Amino acid sequence: MLADKYFDVSQEVVLITGASGQLGGEYVRSFLERGACVAGLDLYLSSKNKKFEEEYPDNYLYCNSDVTSKVSLQQTLNKITDAFGVPTVLVNNAAIDSPPSSPPEENGPFEEYPEASWDKVIDVNLKGVYLCCQVFGAAMAEAGKGSIINVASTYGAVAPDQNLYEYRRQQGEVFFKPVAYSASKSGIFNLSRYLAVYWAKKNVRVNSLTIAGVFNNQDDGFLDAYCKRIPIGRMAKADEYSGSVLFLASPASTYMTGSNLVIDGGWTAI
């Protein structure tokens, strides 16, 4: 049988930020199951990461790392290089948002959105990607090989649909999807394009991946509004973005750089 050379990632050294999160864990699993060496970066070691360490002792390395600290990332790079060699794939997945259960000021009117909340989200979601690209991307460029996948969002491409939260306002709450997440994810697009051009001659590809919402036991009111709004009629399952990440990391996409791959159930088609 002909080996599938297009989607072979077994020789890759993959870094995934936010590895302890819902999607980060799925990305880690996808690469490990296909023979890649994977470093999972996060501020805490989840039970899922502990299981990866047990199941893949030779291929998985958890790194306690802060994406907002260049010193921390440089130390992490040294640790990964010692264990597996120079990284060849970087998945910038780490991100934060103001969840629906946040304090009222987090989800209140734009005019009253706290400056500290803006700074925190931008620091992780945009500065964190910039620093990871600067540290790990530089190592890739020096080695002459790499694929960087910056995870964006539909809410970076279009404005949040505030109508999804009308049910909460009808219950007497003052609730709006906050601004910082959208602004941070929008910045991902041109950061990716900039670096794609900057590193093109170094054989380092940089693409963004725009994804939509993921089912994670959201309340019924939100799920009902969201599923009615999205053409495919449901939120994504946690593993439904893994194929796109594998594609962007694999030889199947070697002529693709500076692009934005949209996997959103049709959200931005409307």
Tens digit of pLDDT for each residue in 130-173?
Answer: 999 999 999 999 999 999 999 999 999 999 999 999 999 999 98
The sign of the CA dihedral 84, 198, 262, 110 is positive
At 4 the pLDDT is 83
Place of tokens 């999804």: 164
Rounded (to 5) percent helix, strand, coil in the chain: 50, 15, 35
Question: What stretch of H or E contains 26?
Answer: helix 22-32
Rounded percentage of the chain residues whose pLDDT exceeds 70: 99
Count CB neighbours of 112 within 10 A: 9
Burial profile 45-81: b = 16 or more Cβ within 10 angstroms, e = fewer: ebebbeebeeebeebbbbbebbbbeeebbbbbbeebe
Return the domain boundaries, the chain: 5-102+117-157+179-217+239-263
Res 105 pLDDT > 90: no
Of 231, 230, 149, 236, nearest in space to 196 by CA: 149
Is the pLDDT at 99 greater than 80, yes or no?
Answer: no
Please report the pLDDT score of residue 103 as a whole number. Answer: 81
Amino acid 2: pLDDT: 56
Residue 98 has a pLDDT of 83
β pairing state of 60-64 and 204-211 = unpaired
The residue behind tokens 């594609």 is 247
pLDDT in tens, 178-220: 999 999 999 999 999 999 999 999 999 999 999 999 999 999 9
Is the pLDDT assigned to residue 100 strictly greater than 80? no
Q: How far apart are CA 196 and CA 256, in angstroms?
A: 10
- The 3-state secondary structure of 172-237 reads CCCCCCCCHHHHHHHHHHHHHHHHHHHCHHHCEEEEEEEECCECCCCCHHHHHHHHHHCCCCCCEC
pLDDT of residue 102: 79
**DSSP 8-state secondary structure symbol assigned to residue 147:** E
CATH topology for 5-102+117-157+179-217+239-263? Answer: Rossmann fold (3.40.50)
